């Protein structure tokens, strides 16, 4: 029984399958929240925007954080490892070949991309690229610290922080045209 659950919640494939399976629930959550807000007097367009942004931040961030917090094969048995020299790990990943480099770089860029995209759409205080960069960097440092402290058999790397932060910043720039004055909220 434990092995069966582990294949769902303790592997990347399981996380991906659960994420896809939960998509209808995320859509339903957006609908429910928007409807509830509309009933309480919020304009329908604003209700949908806030609901989509809230669910989008959670649905787009939690699976990535879940995946990077999955323990390695020797979790708990080996001490945490830290890499604080910028670009060292990134250059090593790029040398591993195009498939590994693509998966690692794109994956790290996507970890907080949903937060960068949807955060400013929902919260006026986040509607600037420097603020999104600061938030993403803080969240990424928190995740890397947790990987180290929990001894997950992963390397806590400054390159991961840089890529996670860059991904959130790029996503924020992609969403910038939808940022608007919050006075109408």
- Enumerate the domain spans of the chain: 2-184
HSE toward the beta carbon, residue 89, CA cutoff 13 A = 19
At 154, is the secondary structure helix, strand, or coil? coil
Q: How confident is the model at residue 183, as a pLDDT?
A: 41
Strands (E), the chain: 81-83, 155-157
pTM of the model: 0.90
- pLDDT over 70 percentage in the chain: 94
Q: How confident is the model at residue 49, as a pLDDT?
A: 95
Q: How confident is the model at residue 79, as a pLDDT?
A: 83
Report phi then psi at 151, rounded to 5: 50, 60
pLDDT tens for 100-155 read: 999 999 999 999 999 999 999 999 999 999 999 999 999 999 999 999 999 999 99
**CA 52/CA 34 separation, integer angstroms:** 8
Residue 184 pLDDT exceeds 60: no
Instruction: Please state at what angle helix 129-149 crosses helix 158-175, rounded to 10 degrees.
Output: 150
Consecutive H or E run containing 139: helix 129-149
Q: How confident is the model at residue 147, as a pLDDT?
A: 95
Closest CA to 82 of 26, 22, 151: 151
Confidence of residue 3 (pLDDT cuts 50, 70, 90): low
Residue 185 pLDDT exceeds 80: no
Rg (CA), the chain: 18
């Amino acid at each position: 029984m434990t092995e069966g659950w582990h294949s769902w919640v303790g592997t990347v494939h399981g996380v991906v399958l659960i994420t896809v399976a939960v998509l209808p629930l995320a859509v339903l959550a957006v609908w429910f929240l928007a409807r509830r807000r509309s009933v309480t007097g919020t304009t329908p367009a604003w209700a949908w925007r806030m609901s989509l942004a809230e669910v989008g931040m959670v649905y787009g961030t939690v699976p990535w954080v879940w995946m990077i917090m999955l323990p390695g094969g020797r979790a708990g048995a080996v001490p945490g490892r830290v890499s604080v020299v910028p670009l060292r790990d990134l250059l090593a990943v790029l040398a591993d070949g195009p498939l590994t480099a693509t998966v690692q770089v794109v994956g790290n860029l996507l970890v907080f991309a949903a937060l960068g995209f949807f955060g400013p759409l929902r919260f006026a205080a986040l509607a600037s690229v420097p603020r999104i960069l600061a938030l993403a960097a803080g969240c990424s440092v928190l995740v890397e610290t947790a990987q180290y402290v929990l001894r997950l058999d992963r390397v806590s790397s400054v390159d991961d922080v840089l890529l996670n932060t860059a991904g959130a910043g790029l996503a924020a720039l992609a969403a910038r045209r939808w940022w608007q004055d919050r006075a109408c909220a």
